[in-house]
Structure 1
């Protein structure tokens, strides 16, 4: 019989792009730095996990290959690792949706620079087909859903650590939340945004996931 396991879904701390997304015109999304508030959020989140019962168990932390997720994952590992060892792994399957060529552009700039794609977006929005809409040189929500589903089946379902911490981004975490709650992707736009360093807690028992709530937010 499988022991109950804890899964924590944590969104990254506030980044400079959360304040001004135009920064992504000049800086790769992978390399966007954390804001001053983001550093304070990191400390609060780390203290919450450190002082919780999750710190008494074997942990494995997964993060996307972005500075803002890696920083929080590293801080968690440093805070929780003594005297036990914490496993930490990077996975591209849980990285943010790729907005491709329009990353950092305003709606007006998008319409001017990629008029056909912007027109397709408006058509998809009007026809309730935004899930399958693909950004130029980027992804659709369906694309993200597929790689998050792979992450669940290939990694999360097989993970043996007592506590699994996943540090990722709003879109992939919302999709993973939906998958674990057995919700359909078409319900995506009804799921609330996950706040920066917000922590959703799930338990896994005998292969079934149970949502325990949003247990930390600032």
Structure 2
């Protein structure tokens, strides 16, 4: 088996933290569950993914976070799933352990000013740290794809920032372009579809400012 027909990226459904940020100071991030709406969103995404698979098998890689596992369960893909790998490198960006909401809110403001790729949360990670572990994960994917019995599709159940950084690494986007992109919404799908020897992304990520995929920080400063 060579590279798969498609690589489907899915953000988890709505979690309790998406509606109540204070939950971070009493429940570990990796144990935060989906809401009822999040489960419904995941079920709807599962219907879309079933149509995309068109009866073909899929190999699944899932973040070890509870909300990712609950999302995968709610997809209801059943016998289309060939194998499931728990993949810690697909986890959410680490912010802290138990988080003080006021402190995290302050750090988010700093991140907005500094840049999402390079800003490192105290006791946590930067976007560039997540990029590095995604690069390591891709090496694992490439090895898996050489197996003759590998399924014709891959599915990654993960988190919004991780999805953007996976695509940044895959398509060799610049940091400036990454900074211009918005996260997908809960339970939104992005698909890398093989077209000959290359992949195209459908749909693309929404941008909050116009930036070309290869635009550098030097070009940005020169255009001001």
- TM-score for both structures, normalised by structure 1: 0.80
Distance 1:4 1:60, change over 3 A: closer
Corresponding residue for residue 93 of structure 1: 89
SS in 1 for 2:117: helix
* 1:60 corresponds to 2:31: no
Tell me the alpha carbon deviations over residues 78-132 of structure 1, each in whole angstroms, 9 at most, x when there is no partner: x3333x552111101010000015735125x765xxxxxx6xx84x765x45532
Report the count of equivalent residues.
200
Corresponding residue for residue 78 of structure 2: 81
Q: Counterparts of 2:143 and 2:127 in 1: how far apart (Å)?
A: 22
Q: Shift in Å at residue 21 of structure 1?
A: 1.3
Query: Where do 5+ consecutive residues of structure 2 fail to align?
Result: 205-224
Corresponding residue for residue 197 of structure 1: 187
Q: Shift in Å at residue 184 of structure 1?
A: 1.6
SS in 2 for 1:132: coil
Q: Shift in Å at residue 157 of structure 1?
A: 6.6
1:37-186 paired onto structure 2 within 5 Å: 37-50=37-50, 52-76=51-75, 79-82=76-79, 86-101=82-97, 103-107=99-103, 122=110, 128=114, 130-155=116-141, 158-159=144-145, 160-186=150-176
Query: Where do 5+ consecutive residues of structure 1 fail to align?
Result: 112-117
Distance 1:85 1:8, change over 3 A: closer
Q: Counterparts of 1:171 and 1:104 in 2: how far apart (Å)?
A: 21
Q: Shift in Å at residue 72 of structure 1?
A: 1.6
Q: Counterparts of 1:139 and 1:183 in 2: how far apart (Å)?
A: 20
Distance 1:130 1:54, change over 3 A: closer
SS in 1 for 2:101: coil
CA contact (8 A) 2:32 2:66 kept: yes
Q: Counterparts of 1:102 and 1:189 in 2: how far apart (Å)?
A: 27
- TM-score for both structures, normalised by structure 2: 0.78
Distance 1:181 1:137, change over 3 A: same
